[in-house]
Chain A
Amino acid sequence: MNQYLVGLATTGVIFAIIALALNVRWGWAGEFDIALFAFVAIGAYVYSVITLPPSNLPPPGGYILGLRWPFLIGVIAAVIIAGLLSAIAGAVALRKLRDDYFGITTLAIALILALVIGQYTPLFDGYEGLYGMPQPLSSVGALGPDGGNYLIICIIALIVTYLVLERLVKSPFGRTVRSVREDDTASAAFGRNVYQVKLKAYILGGCVAGLGGALLAAYITAFNPYGWTPTETFLIYAAIFIGGTGNSLGVIIGAFFVEVGIQEVTRYIPQIGSNASSGDAIRLVVIGLLIVAILWFRPQGILPERRARDRLAVAGSGAGLLTVPGWAARFTPPRFRQAPRWAEPASAAAAAQFTAEPAEVPAQAMALTFRSPLLVSVSGEAGPAGAVGAVADDPVSLRVSNVVRAFGGVRAVDGASFEVRRGSLTGLIGPNGAGKSTMINLISGFDAPDSGVIEFDGKRIDGKPAHAVARLGLMRSFQTPREWGGLTVMDNMLLSAPVEGRDAVWRGLLTARRLKAAENADRVRARELLDAVGLLRLKDEPAGNLSGGQKRLLEFARLAAASPRLVLLDEPQAGVNPVLRERMSDLILAMVEADITVLMVEHNLPFLERLCGHIIVMALGQTIASGSMAELRANRDVVDAYLGQEHVADV
């Protein structure tokens, strides 16, 4: 084979691996990382000092270790150390930073690292860099140091990386990571520790970058700090944008295009005058223009991110006879691959729903859907609409005592206290600025009170982070629905269902098939819930494409999928048309019927009166009254608070 072509291919393959690393961070997790090449460099250095013989450079030069250990150990060490350093850098940079500040912080970290490595010569020989790294298999066969043997190693590494990452991105872990990219607030509201998830993605990306670095060092057999300016990382970004953010295959194509294609094309441009850098300059101008063009004309890249397909796993089910076994499925054309509908191991009732158009389902039936994982026959008469009030001797589910939260001089919540009884549907009202939304944030853990106690089912939850509160079974909605827009409706549902540790990295890696089977129950239930809110036929659409009202309905279905014990609804009627309003009240009643305690902030008082037996009134950060709507109407303080300032000023 032509040595030149082998060299090009090797470069392309190595950069494809590095691009896959950045795709984990940016494409999956949405982390705008500018430090990627620092971790490639770490991988390269670690590989070098482990495989090189001991340093015999005169001081102040030199390098650490020099163990002369074999290639594979060098690569593994590179992966581990790059991962470890990513953990440290990520732990610093990922702490509650805005996306752009995160990018700037990673850049600062990368530059500090480059500065230290360049200046502190005993580590990796400073700016001189290391050279003479051994390349495996270079002496075997006839192709010499730039031969095809090493290319084969790199291709194997690329394939393994690709398969591992594909497996992970399709696993619950991948789904969780991508949810954080779409809307991390929503991820926290559904029990994900956003910081941890982001850190995991950052570390995973670092490990892959370390692998790329080791392979790069062994290929070019020399490495110094000049080889990893921020520009290198931007080139990888260009590859990702062009290939398709989030799509591994696209990213590989993009890497070849940017690192090999453009290089080859611009190679033939003659040098301009005495300017030795003119070729490089033109190449980078072209890449800069390409980034702009692709973001304008095709922001999703050549190959867009793949949408998850909603398919029930068939392994281990009674339908085995009717479906193609897993190994054979790989060779079966896609249209034959999907198990026929009637073979799916769902209940007959659920199966019938897939074909039927969604119909209006009465609240009672919905309640059953919300409650049980399987559809049982609808029984009982429709209860009286509304007046799902607290019974005085029901146990207290949520207790708020003397909670204070001030923003600067404004005491948004100023000593509020109230109780919500288990199984009740309680309203929380008050004029604008009464502190209702702040209260919701404090209870759900999106904010911490300055003082006071919040207890949920006997446990103190004030100051606990949102994801921890959600995991206890206390969930919330938002004034504007927060869906994971780039993920399908079904993915949104699956992300909302209790995850029970299924989104661990190792599970995604090692037990992919078992996870799929375990997810079947979630999928079936999700379909039932989507059917109940009339969204089943949209289950494979990106949730971001839904209309405002549909997003609200999806939010209810997601909350039901989460099966919480208590739900905080923050103005569920905001921006909802009158027809849908009726539907919403049915859904809220269905939640209560399904034994979910509901605390609802709402401005629509007739709506509240119809639904809630017990209503709490807040004004100026304090709870001023509570009781039935009739009682509140008779309460002078409440009328004052609502009827306006002059009334209050008279007092």
Chain B
Amino acid sequence: MNNLLLGVGFGLVTAAILALATVPLSLQMSVARIPNFAHGEFLTVGAYAAYLVNEHGGNFWLCALAAAAAGGGVAFLMNALLLQPFARRKPKLLILFILTIAASLIIQNLILLFFGGNSLSYNLPQSAPHKIGPLLLTSLNLLTIGLAIVLMIAVHVLLKYTKFGKAQRAVSDSRDLARVTGINSEGVIRLTWLIDGTIAGFAGFLLGISSGTLSPTLGQGYLLVIFAAAILGGIGKPYGAMAGALVIGLAMEISALYIPSSYKEAVAFGLLILTLLVRPNGIFAAPRASGAAGATA
């Protein structure tokens, strides 16, 4: 029982980071609809930007700021310089997918080039453990969970109550229709990438802290876990992504109590495959609702 609660505690922290990494991907996929293989690199870039600031004596908040800015910048540039020019040619979806793979290769190896392949780590003060009800969590854990909740609420407000959110929903529904009604689709998409990268970069910083060491494959190694959460919640559904992150995070950490913890990622991948086979539109979608979509012209 005690172990289980420990697992739940870890699970909540993992889920918080995972949600911060997944929600922006899902947000992007609801608007720009690109299965982004370079999403992991947004996290990596954030983590390394935070490292640079940390090396120059920056504290947690400065690091977080740098991570968010760097992640947002890279995502914005990737869209503006690479994806949008190609998207104007209306290529097949897979071509855009492949371009993000190329971007992932480029970004990841530029990081390798500048920082080297050795593991790096932050120099942040140790945080004290607290007993919260039955759970044992450090201040950093609590901060992580708290920030995740705050940012999730922020995303909710953004989508629900701002003009951007309205435009975002319109573009997500039909890009062409949005355009003829005077919404600047490309602008909405650009802004979406910026938000995507900003949150992902910040998530990368938290991931860097929680995994202890940084390496150029930090984000890519985590990418499939992120996809697992996004697909479980239904791709393109930011609220589903939050739920998906919670399920995957808890499943990984609780499973680690019963099977060797090195297999915990396999649990996430297994859930990913299972979801795609049984409920490809996510656990919140009806199983056979869009059956005929493929057959109609």
Contacts and interface: CB of A to CB of B under 8 A. Distances in A.
A437 interface: yes
A467 to B, nearest CB: 13
Nearest to A97: B276
Contacts of A448: 291
Nearest to B265: A115
Nearest to B82: A292
Contacts of A496: none
Nearest to A274: B116
A80 B276 CA distance: 28
Contact of A108 (B95, B224, B295): B224
A466 B284 CA distance: 29
A243 to B, nearest CB: 15
Given A97-B276, A277-B112, A479 B297 contact: yes
A38 to B, nearest CB: 13
Nearest to B104: A288
A570 B116 CA distance: 60
A99 B273 contact: no
Contacts of B86: 295-296
Contact of B106 (A108, A285, A480): A285
Contact of A479 (B109, B286, B294, B296): B296
A295 B99 contact: yes
Nearest to B267: A112
A281 B113 contact: yes
B109 A104 contact: no
Nearest to B230: A104
A511 interface: no
Contacts of B228: 108
Nearest to B260: A119
A262 to B, nearest CB: 13
Interface residues of B, number: 49
A107 B277 contact: no
B94 A99 contact: yes
Contacts of B4: none
Give chain B's interface secondary structure class.
helix
Contact of A112 (B105, B231, B270, B286): B270
B270 A237 contact: no
B130 to A, nearest CB: 34
B128 interface: no
Interface string B246-257: 000000000000
B272 A108 contact: yes
A98 B103 CA distance: 22
A482 interface: yes
A444 B295 CA distance: 10
A447 B112 contact: no
Interface string B85-127: 1100000011101110111111011101100110000000000
Nearest to B294: A185
Interface residues of A, number: 62
A287 interface: yes
Given A291-B102, A408-B286, A111 B265 contact: yes
Given A100-B93, A104-B35, A441-B292, A275 B113 contact: yes
B249 to A, nearest CB: 17
Interface string A476-490: 001110100000000
B266 interface: yes
A360 to B, nearest CB: 29
Interface string A137-175: 000000000000000000000000000000000000000
A84 interface: no
Contacts of B224: 104, 107-108, 111
Nearest to A299: B95
A278 B113 contact: yes
A101 B93 contact: no
B262 interface: yes
Nearest to A477: B297
Contact of B289 (A93, A101, A407, A482): A407
21 contacts: A92-B277, A100-B94, A103-B94, A105-B272, A105-B273, A109-B273, A111-B266, A112-B269, A115-B265, A234-B101, A275-B113, A275-B116, A280-B109, A284-B106, A285-B105, A288-B105, A292-B99, A295-B98, A295-B102, A441-B295, A482-B297
Given A101-B35, A108-B270, A277-B113, 15 more contacts: A32-B94, A98-B280, A100-B94, A185-B294, A231-B105, A272-B113, A274-B116, A281-B109, A288-B103, A291-B105, A292-B82, A295-B98, A438-B292, A446-B294, A446-B295
